[in-house]
Amino acid sequence: MIKKMKGTEDILPKDSYKWQYIEDTIRAIFDTYQVKEIRTPIFEAKELFSRSVGDTTDIVSKEMYDFKDKGDRDIVLRPEGTAAIVRAYVEHKLFGPEYPQPLKLYYMGPMFRYERPQAGRQRQFHQVGMEVFGSTNPATDVEVIALAWDILQELEINNVTLYLNSLGKPEDRLKYRQALVDYFTPLQNQLSEDSKRRLQDNPLRILDSKAKEDKALVADAPSILDYLNDESQAHFEAVKAMLTALNIPFKVNPLIVRGLDYYQDTIFEIMVDDASTGSQSTIVGGGRYDGLVEQLGGPQTPGFGFGLGMERLLLLLEQQAVEIPAEEPTDLFVLSMGEAVNLTALQIVQAARQAGYIAERDYLGRSLKSQFKTADKLQAQLTVTLGEDELASGKVIVKNKALNKQEEIAIEDLVNNFEHYYRQLTMDTSTIDKYFN
């Protein structure tokens, strides 16, 4: 038997409806913000991510699934969504006058990173993301953050905290980088092995290290907020003021740096508190990347976006016991007995489906008792028992067990006008009688 690869999961029918519910909820929110979907390939040129995400990041240096294709090209399975969206934005000239500006795009799909699998984190994982191109207005930052906040509120996620920071402009970041090198170099023997390596390659990553020895040193490290230029400082103050005006609570955390090299100015993370362990985990993260489009060959274009992990979100819903609506019940189940009724049973269920209803029937010639069990499992609103006697008479009895209603209907009438009879048999007249009496 061949089994699934380590770090991947099969999403079975018992769970897929949960994914669909979350995706539908998120899509509905994107619609209210006029954000349009974009779909990019699962594999891209390796250079796309080494140039945008950064050679010194863990994603590029450790985690990418990279390989040579048959044309000897360096290919990777996409490890994150933003770079691919920017590539498509540049390649298809989505900055042209025929496109609405600023351009708002979202994506949903699998990403790939080679890391140790754990709950909510797989080697193939699924991400929802949003990108906005063309606006430096701080209101754009706030709108994207508000959308992410709306998603979590709509899904009834509790114990969430929004954390903000600003990385300033690239020149601010360079000055801050040097300040970190100056601070950590005399202390490097006390750093973790990972942070010793990062000290020269990417010292900002030391700030979000999980190692205990690093955390103790990070507490007294210089703050990026002391290195912002006047423009970035004003931008950050405007973002905070607008979030306050929208009644979206937040905390400023100068230790948030995100893991990707393309960020500047506003960055944010929405974290969830785990009451059982006292720890926090990031569920949404993103920020501004005003130089990335130009870096990948496009015109100078500001950008802002976020990413959200679906597996983590599902795990969170389960941990917080958030109720996900069950699948819709079946509207009609046809119980059939004997080969002679095979075609007629098919005609009845197809008539119901074409009228827009959910219908099912037995195909396996099982006993009537077994078929009734299946109908109950599917929560069938109506049932029809079809045997040779019904076929000979041209009539069937349609039952609504919940309302204790049934009606004998000509098969031809049921096929030709299913919706009429469905409404007739599913309307709860007792409720109507109470209202009028």
Could you report the per-residue pLDDT of 358-400, keeping only the tens digit for each?
A: 999 999 999 999 999 999 999 999 999 999 999 999 999 999 9
What confidence score (pLDDT) does residue 190 get? Answer: 85
Structure tokens at 163: 């954390």
- At residue 253 the predicted structure's pLDDT band, cuts being 50, 70 and 90, is very high
Region 189-202: mean pLDDT is: 84
Q: What is the pLDDT of residues 210-234, one digit of tens each?
A: 788 888 888 888 999 999 999 999 9
Q: Where are the beta strands (DSSP E) in 82-133?
A: 103-112, 124-133
- At residue 259 the predicted structure's pLDDT band, cuts being 50, 70 and 90, is low
Structure tokens at 108: 């949903």
What confidence score (pLDDT) does residue 431 get? Answer: 45
What confidence score (pLDDT) does residue 197 get? Answer: 83
Q: What is the pLDDT of residues 66-100, one digit of tens each?
A: 889 899 999 999 999 999 999 999 999 999 999 99
Q: Return d(Cα 342, Cα 335) in angstroms, integer.
A: 10
Burial class (CB in 10 A: 0-12, 13-18, 19+), 37: exposed
Angle between helices 138-154 and 13-32 (to 10 degrees): 140
Percent share of the chain, pLDDT over 70: 94
What confidence score (pLDDT) does residue 174 get? Answer: 87
Q: Return d(Cα 411, Cα 35) in angstroms, integer.
A: 47
* Summary mean pLDDT of the chain: 90
- At residue 432 the predicted structure's pLDDT band, cuts being 50, 70 and 90, is very low
Phi and psi (nearest 5°) for 164?
-120, 150
What confidence score (pLDDT) does residue 148 get? Answer: 97
Closest CA to 322 of 159, 156, 161: 156
pLDDT at 238 over 90: yes
Report CA-CA distances (Å) from 347 to 289, 357, 378, 408, 414: 57, 14, 20, 17, 10
Region 24-37: mean pLDDT is: 97
Q: What is the CA radius of gyration of the chain?
A: 28
Q: What is the pLDDT of residues 112-159, one digit of tens each?
A: 998 888 777 789 999 999 999 999 999 999 999 999 999 999 999 999
Q: Where are the beta strands (DSSP E) in 264-392?
A: 264-274, 279-288, 303-309, 332-336, 359-361, 382-386
Neighbours of 47 (CB within 10 A): 12
Q: What is the pLDDT of residues 332-344, one digit of tens each?
A: 999 999 999 999 9
Structure tokens at 346: 């098919």
Report CA-CA distances (Å) from 403 to 260, 329, 400, 423: 59, 15, 6, 13
Residue 118 bridge partners (DSSP)? 121
Region 275-290: mean pLDDT is: 82
**Strand duo 332-336 + 382-386: pairing:** parallel
What confidence score (pLDDT) does residue 364 get? Answer: 93
What confidence score (pLDDT) does residue 275 get? Answer: 62
Q: Omega of the bond prior to 203 within 30 degrees of 0, cis?
A: no
Q: What is the pLDDT of residues 292-326, one digit of tens each?
A: 899 899 999 999 999 999 999 999 999 999 999 88
- At residue 350 the predicted structure's pLDDT band, cuts being 50, 70 and 90, is very high
